[in-house]
Structure 1
Amino acid sequence: MRIAIVGAGAAAVGLLDALAALAVGAAEAGEVTVFEPSAHLWRGRPYGPDLDSVLVNVPPAIMSIRHSDAGHYASWLGGERAAAHMDDLLGEPIVPRALFGAYLADTAEAALAVLRRRGWRTRVVAARVVATARSGDGPGLVVRTEDGRGHQADQVALCVGGGTPQDHYGLSGAPGFFGDPYPLADTLGQVPAGADVAVLGSGLTAVDVVVSLAARGHAGRIALVSRSGLLPGVWQRPVSHQRRHVTAERVEALGRAHGVVTLDDLAGLVRAELEAAGEDFACFAAELLAARSEPPVERLRRQLAAVGDPAIGRQVLREGVHAVGPYAWRLLPEPDRDRLRRHFRLATSVASPMVPVNAAVLLRLFDSGQLSVVAGVRKIEAAANGFRVHRDDGDRNANVVTANVVINAVNPPPHSVPLAAEPLVTSLLTAGLATLHPAGGLVSADPRVHVVGDLAGGGPFITSGIPSIAARAARAARAADAARAADALPSAPTNVAG
């Protein structure tokens, strides 16, 4: 069995780790080839070398790349490193992303070593894959790299990562515009210390930019400019609570009983969870929906002050989005899916909050007047010595904010195709090995092709986190291992979308 893994980021690491675990009990060995042109193997775009101010935004308990062991990352981190990166307000270690990248690299190398000890042939090809097609002289596939070489494979796993940031305002090529902020060490090194900076977006990537500017002692004004102006929520200190109602089992039971699961059904599960804990669902819902009208700095200040609040509502909702969301999404009727998509920014602010240590930096900058939020942005244009940011107030009167530098921190849509992977995806579609999902992403149309990570179509509208990537990788490993063990193809395509 020859397995080709396209890409060497977190999804590939999870797949290798799962394959290594399966190989321990296997009677026969196989071959695995990883294709990755980047020099920073196993880290992907998010976890490469960068400034120490660019942090992982979640505690170690939900960052394990080993699906079968939630404590794998925490064990690797150890007590000394954890203590050195403690977020005192959260009570959890929050490490630089580059350190998490080291964890991914160690995990991948350990998995490859296990595979080699079990007799597997392993190699890494430092080239970009541009096409995959059916083999003309056998049942396998041909993976073609940009140097024109063809590589035979029996199973192909796409682990190409997330999409490429989009240039929504057509600023590419303008002096002072940075279309992709990462690595911030490179981008911010080109920003003059006194420049006025407009950061496009107000999500976690924008928070990374602002916090890193502050860490470098930036003296100019900073504006977070976006359509919504909504900041991420702030993490609460984790509360010991075992969900009894907001669970995959309860969602699946509702699906069996009614054929579908509505948003009202899901709200009912959250209501039951909160009421069982003695909390008021109506108050929680009102507080949640108020985020769309509450001034962002006031919301930030209030949530930062409530980091130690023992109320379970936000934790239940955040956990539910990631742990239960993939099951619920498949059962939701399309009108309810559309309702959720319309509230994408609010949903992501709850599902992906910022860590308190970063929230405290933002609040300090807001209070000093150096940082501001500019909402309602409709146009940004290059001008003499910089840029003009146009926004509309309630009377549709134009307001203009000027900046010397614009940094694009708007993340690509979930399930979008990375620019570098477009030729490969086109080849898969042309060969009939995959199809595009109507809501974005790629769906396998052949049992030999596996789509792992955020590119997989059919999943929820929230960008994949490490737990879901690890789960999808483990599922793809089991499918590939079953084909290898049986020396035959699975009966149905595997699209590990959730």
Structure 2
Amino acid sequence: MRIAIVGAGAAAVGVLDALAVSGAEAGEVTVFEPSPHLWRGRPYGPDLDSVLVNAPPAIMSIRHADFGHYASWLGPERAEAHLDDLLGQPLVPRALYGEYLVDTAEAALAELRERGWRTRVVAARVVAAARSGRGCRLRTEDGHEHAADQVMVCVGGGTPTDHYGLGGAPGFVGDPYPLADTLDRVPGGAGVAVIGSGLTAVDAVVSLAARGHDGRIALVSRSGMLPHVWQRPLGYRPRRLTAERVEAGAVTLDGLAALLRAELDDAGEDFAHFTRELLAAGTEQPVERLRRQLAAVGDPSIGRRVLQESAHTIGPYAWRLLPEPDRERLRRHFRLATSVASPMVPVNAAILLRLFDSGQLTVVSSARKIEAGFLVRADGGDLKADVVVNAVNPPPQSVPHAAEPLVTSLLADGLATMHPSGGLVPADPRLHVVGDLAGGGPFITSGIPGVAARAAGALRTALSSGS
């Protein structure tokens, strides 16, 4: 079998690792990626040490269902060197996590070659694909064509949207990563408006602080809602809200809520109190909520921990089974769901709280407009900024700009269709989509557990289709 993997980020690493441990009969695997930073993708390339992995090791394994794979690679020495005392877990710079992805991919390729597989990495972007006999033919931007029996599209997610039309304005940073490059152009005393208040915005603020920035910083967003703060892992495994329970019956939002209620009941916790606490995020002052959550990092309550784990492990599967009215109910809580499912690490929360308390950092909510020359118009008053950093997360299931020609060709040939809610859906057993571009997935950005699960599942389907 000839397998083509288009893209070489975390999703591609998940596919290669799954292939290496599958024991599949030897064939050929070709990876297409123009970037010199193989296997890292956009999030895990070289960057500042202040840009941290935003999750504990147990949910950062790129090997599906092996929760200790990443922790084993990290080892005790590196884990100790990067220990977050508040979380009680190692939190490494994202560039170091990128090394884990690199080592995992290279180990997988070495294992495949040892078993007789032919492996190649082609340093070119795939711009077109079409059916050819029983397989597919891929064309790269240099005009060369490549044959494959199964195609795995692993091109990553989109890029931040320029909501205020500031592209090209002096002092506007349209895409903050890598922060090592973009923040190097920000004067130390400049007034900085960071658009957004999610994890990317947190990265930008924390990295400005790490570089000794002494100018004013404002988080500018419509909601003003900050990410929740990770709590210290307890090693608790859900007993009610499990994949087996979800698979056993018709999936509805009320049914999932009942399983979570039962989980909390077993632990002696009040479900109504838990839901009131979650919904209060929309009205509570963000700084006071941050202060309270930082103080509760060691709180033994399981509610938020179970919900966060389930969002990444069960969520992608359950979402596909939910009735559309239930999906719409969840979409109405998009900002809250994102805040809960993608929390910030305590060390970053402590830095933000220090900046808030000093008056250097503020939150500007209900932002209506940002004018060229950088005057922020908000319901609470106007704000002047010298630099604007666009830290809005790309929409889930959006097409990366560089992958647009490939996606256009897949649609034209009938190999794929666009999902009504965004993303690409295979329309032919020769094509598989892994990562945030996969259509029909949840409205929150995929975490590593979801990417690893999708990679393993797509690989199993590809092997069975080609057998």
The equivalences for 1:395-410 within 5 A come to 399-410=381-392
> Which one-letter code corresponds to 1:296 in the other structure?
P
User: 2:436 corresponds to which residue?
Assistant: 454
User: 2:79 corresponds to which residue?
Assistant: 82
User: 2:63 corresponds to which residue?
Assistant: 66
User: 1:392 corresponds to which residue?
Assistant: 379
Matching of residue 431 in structure 1 with residue 413 in structure 2: yes
Query: Among 210, 215, 219, which residue is 1:220 paired with?
Result: 215
- Residues 454 and 374 of structure 1, relative CA distance in 2, 3 Å threshold: same
Moved more, 6-15 or 316-325: 316-325
**What are the ranges of 5 or more consecutive residues in structure 1 without an aligned counterpart?**
256-260, 394-398, 487-498
Post-superposition Cα deviations, 1:402-446, rounded to whole Å, max 9, x if no partner, equal 100000000111111111101100000000000001111100001
Matching of residue 330 in structure 1 with residue 320 in structure 2: yes
User: 1:294 corresponds to which residue?
Assistant: 284
Post-superposition Cα deviations, 1:361-398, rounded to whole Å, max 9, x if no partner, equal 00000000000000001111112xxx0111125xxxxx
TM-score for the superposition, normalised by structure 1: 0.92
Question: Shift of the alpha carbon at 1:68?
Answer: 4.0
Question: Shift of the alpha carbon at 1:253?
Answer: 2.4
Structure 1 contact 19–481 (Cα < 8 Å) conserved: no
User: 2:17 corresponds to which residue?
Assistant: 17
Aligned length: 467
The equivalences for 1:236-247 within 5 A come to 236-247=231-242
User: 2:229 corresponds to which residue?
Assistant: 234
Measure the CA separation in 2 of the matches of 1:409 and 1:373. 14
Question: Shift of the alpha carbon at 1:98?
Answer: 0.2
Paired-residue identity, %? 78
SS in 1 for 2:98: helix
Question: Shift of the alpha carbon at 1:86?
Answer: 0.5
Query: Among 27, 36, 50, which residue is 1:53 paired with?
Result: 50
> Which one-letter code corresponds to 1:282 in the other structure?
A
User: 1:3 corresponds to which residue?
Assistant: 3
- Residues 342 and 427 of structure 1, relative CA distance in 2, 3 Å threshold: same
User: 1:416 corresponds to which residue?
Assistant: 398
> Which one-letter code corresponds to 1:434 in the other structure?
A
Measure the CA separation in 2 of the matches of 1:481 and 1:327. 21
The equivalences for 1:269-348 within 5 A come to 269-348=259-338
Structure 2 contact 429–465 (Cα < 8 Å) conserved: no
SS in 2 for 1:189: helix
User: 1:160 corresponds to which residue?
Assistant: 155
SS in 1 for 2:185: coil
Question: Shift of the alpha carbon at 1:277?
Answer: 0.5
Structure 1 contact 228–376 (Cα < 8 Å) conserved: yes
**What are the ranges of 5 or more consecutive residues in structure 2 without an aligned counterpart?**
none
The equivalences for 1:159-198 within 5 A come to 159-198=154-193
> Which one-letter code corresponds to 1:461 in the other structure?
F
Question: Shift of the alpha carbon at 1:250?
Answer: 1.8
Query: Among 20, 31, 36, which residue is 2:33 paired with?
Result: 36
> Which one-letter code corresponds to 2:436 in the other structure?
D
SS in 2 for 1:157: strand
User: 2:201 corresponds to which residue?
Assistant: 206
Matching of residue 377 in structure 1 with residue 372 in structure 2: no
> Which one-letter code corresponds to 2:393 in the other structure?
N
- Residues 307 and 197 of structure 1, relative CA distance in 2, 3 Å threshold: same
SS in 1 for 2:21: helix
> Which one-letter code corresponds to 1:439 in the other structure?
S
Measure the CA separation in 2 of the matches of 1:177 and 1:300. 28
Measure the CA separation in 1 of the matches of 2:160 and 2:316. 24
Question: Shift of the alpha carbon at 1:475?
Answer: 1.2
Question: Shift of the alpha carbon at 1:16?
Answer: 0.6
Matching of residue 111 in structure 1 with residue 108 in structure 2: yes
User: 1:493 corresponds to which residue?
Assistant: none
TM-score for the superposition, normalised by structure 2: 0.98
Structure 2 contact 192–386 (Cα < 8 Å) conserved: yes
> Which one-letter code corresponds to 1:63 in the other structure?
M
